Amino acid sequence: MACPVCGGEAHTRVGEKDGHVVVACSGCGLRYVDPMPSEQEIADYYAKYWVNEKNIRNGPRKVERLKRILRPVLGRVGGEGRFLDIGCNTGFACEAARELGFEATGIDLSADAVAKAEEMYPRCRFVASDLQSFAGGGEVYDAVLCREVVEHLTEAHSFFEALGRVVRVGGVLHMTTPDAGHFGVPKDFVSWKEVIPPEHITFYDRKTLQRMLELYGFEIVNQKLLLKPSLRVTAMKRR
Ligand SMILES: [Zn+2]
C-alpha cells in the first residue's frame, strides 16, 4: 500500500502486532499499518467505541484540565469566537471552551458519545459525523482542537484537507498525536504501547505531521518538547 502521507510505494517492514503488519515509508519515514484495516473492521470497532464511565465521573476535573490546555490556544484568536473539537467524545473540551467564552461545537464518529455529551453539556452543540462530511457543510471556526485523532485514520489527505477548510484563515489549530520519532519510543517499534491496531494505525513524527499541516495552509507556531512520546502542536492557518 502506498504511503498515506507522501504516496511513496517503497517501504520496509517494521514488525507485526495483533495480525497487522507495520511498515516504515522509505520516502518520508511515516510508520503505518499495511494493509490498513477494512472499513468494516473499523466500523465494528467504533460501533463499540463508547463512553468511558470512569472518564465521566472525572468530568469536572477533566474540564478544568482542558481549560488550562486551551487557554493559551484560544488566546491566540483573541479569546472569543467559534470553537470546534474533532473527536469530542463526551464533550469535556467543548465545555471547557464554552466556559472560556467560546461558542462550542464537537463532532465525533460515535453516536453514543455524542448522545452522552448532549446530555452532560446541553449548552454546547454536538454532531455525530466524520470531519470530511462535516466540513462539507461549509462551517468555519476560529479555533479547532484535534487531540489523539490522526493516529486513528486510514487516509490522511482528505482529513487534513477538511481540517484546512474548517479553520478560518488566521484561526488556530491545536493537535496532539503520539510521536513515533521520539527518543522514548522502543527500538522494537511494535512493542510501543501506542501501536494498537486497528485503533492506532498511522504514526506521525514531527516531520511528517509538519509536512501535512503545511500542505494544507498551517504554520506551526508552538511545539512542546516533551519527555513522553507525544506531539502537541499549535498551528495558525495562514492561507
Ligand atoms: Zn511516505
Mean pLDDT of 127-146: 97
DSSP-based three-state secondary structure for 171: strand
Residue 232 pLDDT more than 90? yes
Tell me the CA–centroid distance for residue 31 and ligand 1, in Å.
Answer: 8
Determine the average pLDDT of the residues in 126-150. 97
Structural domain of residue 128, as residue ranges? 51-179+204-237
pTM of the model as a whole: 0.96
Tell me whether residue 46 is in a domain.
Answer: no
Q: Is the pLDDT of residue 73 over 90?
A: yes
Residue 45 domain flag: no
Residue 48 reports pLDDT greater than 90 = no
- Whether 33 is in a domain gets the answer no
30 C-alpha to center of ligand 1: Å?
5
pLDDT surpasses 80 at 198: yes
* β-bridge mates for residue 177, sequence order: 231
Distance 32 CA to ligand 1 centre (A): 9
Q: How far is the CA of 180 from the centre of ligand 1 (A)?
A: 14
Q: Is the dihedral of CA 218, 205, 73, 46 positive or negative?
A: positive
Residue 2: inside a domain, yes or no? no
Residue with cell 484561526: 171
pLDDT recorded at residue 50: 63
Within 8 A by CB and 6+ apart from 211, the residues are: 5, 6, 28
Confidence at residue 53, expressed as pLDDT on a 0 to 100 scale: 76
Ligand 1 centre distance from Cα of residue 24 (Å): 8
The mean pLDDT value for 192-204 works out to 96
| 193, 186 contact by CB (below 8 A) | no
Q: Sorting pLDDT into bands at 50, 70 and 90, what band is 42?
A: confident
The count of structural domains within the chain is 1
In a domain, 106, yes or no: yes
The kind and range of the H/E element at 168 are strand 167-178
Task: For the chain, count helices (H), then strands (E).
Answer: 8, 11
Distance 27 CA to ligand 1 centre (A): 5
- CATH number at 162 reads 3.40.50.150
